Amino acid sequence: MTDPIRWGIVATGRIAARFVSDLGIVDDAEVLAVASRSDDSAGRFATEHHIPRPYGTWEALAADPDVDIVYVAGPHPAHHPAARMMLAAGKAVLCEKPITVNAPQAEDLVAVAAEHRVFLAEAMWTRTIPAVRRIVELVAYGAIGEVTAVAADFSFAAAVGPEHRLRNSALGGGALLDLGVYPLALAQLFLGSPDTVSASARLSPEGVDAGTGILLGYRAGRSDAPPWRAESAYATLTCAFDSSGATTATIAGTLGRIDIPAGFHKPRSFTLRRGEEAELVEVAYEGQGLRFPAIEAMRCLRAGLIESPLLPHSATLAVMTTMDEIRGQIGVSYPADAA
C-alpha cells in the first residue's frame, strides 16, 4: 500500500469546499488540516468536511510537520502571501488560479519554490482535464494540421452588488483575473506566448473590468512556440461577468478544427471537424474536475518533481505577464501593483 498524500487547505470558501469534495474521490489523498484566519471559520469547515486538524492561523498550518502539500484558495490577493508562507516552510503548494494578482508576485513564488526545492503549481485545472489532454494529443499528432487560431469565451451575467468580490478591486475583482485567465490559458497551451496584445474593456463603476475583449498575435521565430503552431496565428478571447456568453472554444488549424462546447474550461466532450466530417469525442469523468490538478500534483510529489510538466511555471508566468499587459491597456490596477 502507498501512504496517502496528506493535504492542508488554506481558506474555507466555496472553491475550497469543492476541492475537498473532489479529493474525496482520490484514493491516495487525505485532507489532514484546514487553516483560516479565525478559529471559528476553520472549525466549522473542519466539522463539515470531517477534517481532523482545524487551525485559526496560516502559521499553524505551515508548522504542521505531517502536511505534505497545501492547496491555497481564498480571494486572489491572499494567494501570494499564503503560498509564500507555505513554500518558505517547506510545504509543496497547489495554488488556485490566478496564482497571484500580478506577474511579479508569481515570479516571486517561483523563486521561493526554487530556493526551497519544493513543488509549486497553479491549479489551472483546464490543462489537466482528460478531454483537454486528449485534444493536445490530437493536435500534436497533426489531426487539424498547423494551429492558426484559438477563440474562447468565458462570460456570464452575474447579478451581484458592488460589495461582491467580482466587483471589488481590493479583492482582485474583475472579469479578467476570475474568468479571462481560462481563455488565456487555453490560448497559451495551443499557441504559446503572444508577440502582440490588444485589449479593450467595459469597466464597472468600481473600476474593475466587467467585460474584456482580447486579440493576441503570434509571429514566427519564437523559441517557445509549440511545434504545431503556424508561422502566423492569433487568438480572439472574451470574458465578462455582466453579460451572457457562449463559454465555448475553438482551436482552428489548416486541416480542420476542434470545437469545445459550453463550459470549455472543464469539458467532458469535444468535436473534431475535418471537412464535412465531424466526430464527437466524449471523455467523461467523475466529480467536478478539480481533482485532476491534485492528482497531477501528487504524482509529481511521489516522483520527486518540483514542477509539473502539465502545469509548468513558464506557462503560468506567461499568462500572468499577458494579464498584466491587458490590465495596463484597459486601466485596471490593484493595491498589490503598487507594492
Render pLDDT for 313-323 as a digit per residue (tens, 0 to 9). 999 999 999 99
Identify the CA nearest to 48 among candidates 9, 93, 81, 85: 9
Domain with CATH 3.30.360.10 in the chain: 130-284
Residue 86 identity (one-letter amino acid): M
pLDDT of residue 214: 98
Bridge partners for 313 per DSSP: none
Average model confidence (pLDDT) across the chain: 96
141 burial level (CB within 10 Å; 0-12, 13-18, 19+): exposed
Q: Which pLDDT tens digit goes with each residue over 4-47?
A: 999 999 999 999 999 999 999 999 999 999 999 999 999 999 99
Mean pLDDT in residue range 322-335: 97
Which residues have a catalytic role annotated?
97
Give the torsion through C-alpha atoms of 292, 230, 177, 57, to 10 deg.
40
pLDDT of residue 277: 96
Bridge partners for 69 per DSSP: 7, 92
Whether 97 has a pLDDT exceeding 60, the answer reads yes
Whether 162 has a pLDDT exceeding 90, the answer reads no
Side-chain half-sphere exposure of 317, counting CA atoms within 13 A: 13
pLDDT of residue 314: 97
Bridge partners for 212 per DSSP: 201, 239
CATH number of this structure's domain 130-284, picked from the four choices 2.40.40.20, 3.40.50.720, 3.30.360.10, 1.10.287.110: 3.30.360.10
pLDDT of residue 161: 86
pLDDT of residue 240: 98
Residue 46, all three cell numbers: 473542519
Whether 221 has a pLDDT exceeding 60, the answer reads yes
pTM over 0.85: yes
CATH number of this structure's domain 5-126+290-311, picked from the four choices 3.40.190.10, 3.30.1300.10, 3.40.50.720, 2.160.20.10: 3.40.50.720
Task: Report which of residues 224 and 107 the model is more confident about.
Answer: 107
Q: Which pLDDT tens digit goes with each residue over 60-77?
A: 999 999 999 999 999 999
Domain with CATH 3.40.50.720 in the chain: 5-126+290-311
338 burial level (CB within 10 Å; 0-12, 13-18, 19+): exposed
pLDDT tier for residue 163 given thresholds of 50, 70 and 90: confident
What's the rounded Cα separation, in Å, for the pair 165 and 76?
A: 9
